[in-house]
Amino acid sequence: MRILFVTSTRIGDAVLSTGLLDHLIRTHPGARITVACGPVAEGVFARMPGRERTIVVTKRALSLHWIDLWAQVAGTFWDLVVDLRGSALGYLVPARRRVVMRGGRRPGHRIGHIAGVLRLDPPPRPVAWFAPEDSVRIAALLGDDQPILALGPTANWAGKVWPAERFVALAGALTAAGGPLEGARPVLLGGPGGAERAMADPVVRALPGALDLIGALSLPEAAALLARARLFVGNDSGLMHLSAAAGAPTLGLFGPTPASEYGPVGRAARAVVAPDGRMEGLSVEMALEAATALLPSPVAV
């Protein structure tokens, strides 16, 4: 069986689509899957089982990137085409079956919209794929079995970024003697590039004992690290979604973006929302309470 899966240009939406892909992998063993996605999301699928090919769709003027993609897939007869971009492409390639997600904003979480294309209810949870070599590199970077508190202090625009001093205060409260993550080592995660580095640097400077991995990991390596994290706390971002997919207890910090649509989805994931819709309105106390609620209760002795 040959499946064409057209998904997002953004990491967060791409991660949310992995649950649907995982469903297809499990229900069609041996299927050969081609994934089309944007450049920054490519790593989400790098370790995916059953992946025959990834086509990286780089945006071009006048939507010419869609013509480029069509030229690469129109010569194949697909058993199933899944188009989560709501484009015309899904109707213009030869296929036995095609499902196209309609565009536009509507109520409900994005994961429900994605699962709806195959009428799956409840929606399958996102997954994070990584390989043994990714785990080996992470083990070498961490060096020991000290518990880690993963922090994601960056986002794709400044309005989604919690103030740096509050990340520092929260990390201190969580890892201090008597805190819920006493002795854990903060690990700072973020994407490549100057903008991410600029957002993270105030936190890096204020936490000299933290491990700074901003821009240092591939997405599969980040997933391998997050699978080991005792807790992740971060802004609304692709990294937040990857953390929840990897199974880490995940707290997403939300202000101007709707948690009802983009909150983290995982075995232990929740969002804490600023009451006034501004990240400055989200207090350390609110975040600490929400983070503590995600952690296992201490065992009485």
Would you place residue 144 in the very low, low, confident or very high pLDDT band (cuts 50, 70, 90)?
confident
pLDDT, tens digit, 9 for 90 and up, residues 89-143: 999 999 999 999 987 778 899 999 999 999 999 999 999 999 999 999 999 999 8
Type of residue numbered 100: V
pLDDT, tens digit, 9 for 90 and up, residues 274-288: 999 999 999 999 999
Would you state the pLDDT for residue 301?
A: 41
Q: What are phi and psi of 111, to 5 degrees?
A: -65, -30
Would you state the pLDDT for residue 63?
A: 87
Would you state the pLDDT for residue 105?
A: 75
pLDDT, tens digit, 9 for 90 and up, residues 182-198: 999 999 999 999 999 99
DSSP secondary structure of 53-106 = EEEE----GGGHHHHHHHHHHTTS-EEEEEETT--SHHHHS-EEEEEE---S--
Q: Which residues pair with residue 80 across a beta bridge?
A: 3, 97
- Rounded to an integer, the average pLDDT of 215-227 is 98
Joined together, the tokens standing for residue 61 give 């003027």
Q: State the pTM of this model.
A: 0.96
Would you state the pLDDT for residue 298?
A: 58
